[in-house]
Structure 1
C-alpha cells in the first residue's frame, strides 16, 4: 500500500495549518524582515498579491513555450491534479503583515515544487519540506520533513538520505529567499534562468508524477 499527501483527509491539513500558524511566530518575523530587506520582496509585502485560480491567466500560461516557468507550473498543476485554491486561509496569526507572509508561504508551495522539480508523491513532498525547513525555519516544515520519511519504503529512504535530502537541505540554505520573488511577473522567464537567479540546483533525480512515487534517474 502506498501513501501520498493526496490521500490524507482534510482535517489533517486543517490541523497542520493551525500548528504552523501557532508555532511559527519567530520564523515569520525573520521571513518578513528578509522580505523587507529585498527590493522585490518589499514590493510583495506592499502589494500583497495572491496566487489563486482567479488571479492566474491559465490560457496565457498554456501558450508560453515549454521550459518557461509559467508553462512548467501549469504542467505541474495538470500532471499532479492540484490547484492553488486548496491552500487554507490564515486564521491564527494576529499581525496582519505576518499573516500575509504565512499566506504567501502557503501559496508559493506549489511553485517550489515546480522550481525543485518535485511531484506531489510522498518522496517529492518530503524533499520540498526539507528545502522549506532550511529556507524558512518554520517548525511545521521540519516536522513534515521528519514524519514524512516514516512512510517511505527502503529504496525511497535510500534515495532521500543519499541524494534528495542533502540536495534539498543544501539548496534551502543557499537559495535566495523564495518569498521575495514576484512569481506572477516571472511566468515568461525560463525555469532554468529562474533557478540560477535563486541559486537552486536542478534535482539530482527525476521523480515520476505518480502516486506510487517511483524514481527515474536522469
Structure 2
C-alpha cells in the first residue's frame, strides 16, 4: 500500500496529491467505508447525500460584494487573502455515496474554517483536522493531524502547546456541534456569520486562535 503521501506530510505540509494518496490508502483498508457508515447514521446527513445536494455556482467577486460580516464575504476574504485555491482538493470520481461525502467534505473545508474560527496556521489546520475527525471519523484527517503533531516535536514549546490546544478545541467543538456535513452552507452566504455561529452553538472563536 502507498504511504508516500503520509511520508511527505511528515516532512512538510503536503499537497493535494499527497492528500489524495492518503485517502486512497484508507479506502484500500476499508476505513473509508466505516467512516461512511458513521456519517450516514445521521438522518439529515443521509438526506443530503441521497439528494446529491449540489450548491449553486458562485464567483469570489459575488461573495466579496456581499454584506460586511456575512458568511460569503468572510469566506471570500479568507480564501482570497491567503491566495487559496477553492478547488485545491482532487475530486473523487464516481457516483457512490462515499465519493459524494468525500467531495462534500473537501469543498466545505474552508467554509468550516471560517465558521469555527481556525486560521490557516499549522495549529489552525490541526484544529480543523480534529473537528472533522470528531464529527465524521475521517481517517485521513486523523493521519494528517498525527503528521502535524510529529512535525511539532522540534518546535518551540509555545508553538507545540498552541497546536495541542487547537486539537483539544477541535475535538470539543466537533463533539458538541451539530453535524456540519448536514448543512447546506452555500444557501447561507448572505447571512451574518455570527448569527450562523450562534445557530450551531459556537458562541466565540476557539481559544487557541485568539492569540
User: In the alignment, does 2:158 pair up with 1:155?
Assistant: yes
After superposition, what is the alpha-carbon deviation per residue over 1:50-88, rounded to whole angstroms, capped at 9, x for unaligned? 58xxx2132221111221111111011012211221221
Task: Calculate the aligned-residue CA RMSD, in Å.
Answer: 2.4
- What is aligned with 1:210? none
1:204 to 189, 204, 207: 207
Distance in 2 between residues matched to 1:72 and 1:146, nearest whole Å: 29
CA apart distance, 1:33: 3.1
Q: 1:48 and 2:50 equivalent?
A: no
> Using the alignment, how far apart are the partners of 2:179 and 2:100 within structure 1?
16
Distance 1:108 1:20 in 2: 21
Aligned to 1:67: 69
Q: Which moved more, 1:74-83 or 1:13-22?
A: 13-22
Matched, 1:24 2:15: no
1:50–1:107 Cα contact (<8 Å) kept: no
SS of residue matched to 1:104 = helix
Is this contact kept in 2: 1:4–1:121, CA < 8 A? no
Listed as ranges, the matches of 1:47-196 within 5 Å are 47-49=52-54, 55-91=57-93, 96-152=96-152, 153=155, 154-161=157-164, 163-196=165-198
- Give the distance between the partners of 2:108 and 2:145, measured in 1 at CA: 18
The Cα shift of 1:98 comes to 2.4
- Is this contact kept in 2: 1:61–1:70, CA < 8 A? yes
Q: Tell me the alpha carbon deviations over residues 75-114 of structure 1, each in whole angstroms, 9 at most, x when there is no partner.
A: 11012211221221114xx771222111111111111111
State the TM-score, normalized to the length of structure 2: 0.81
* Counterparts of 1:80 and 1:41, CA distance in 2: 33
- The CA distance in 2 between the partners of 1:136 and 1:160, in whole Å, is 21
CA contact 2:74–2:114 (8 Å) conserved in 1: yes
TM-score by length of 1: 0.79
Q: Deviation at 1:119?
A: 2.6
Number of matched pairs: 195
State the match for 1:209 in structure 2: none
Following superposition, the deviation at residue 164 of structure 1 comes to 2.1
Tell whether the 8 Å contact from 1:32 to 1:101 is kept in structure 2 after alignment: no
Q: State how far apart, in whole Å, the 1-side matches of 2:182 and 2:83 are.
A: 27
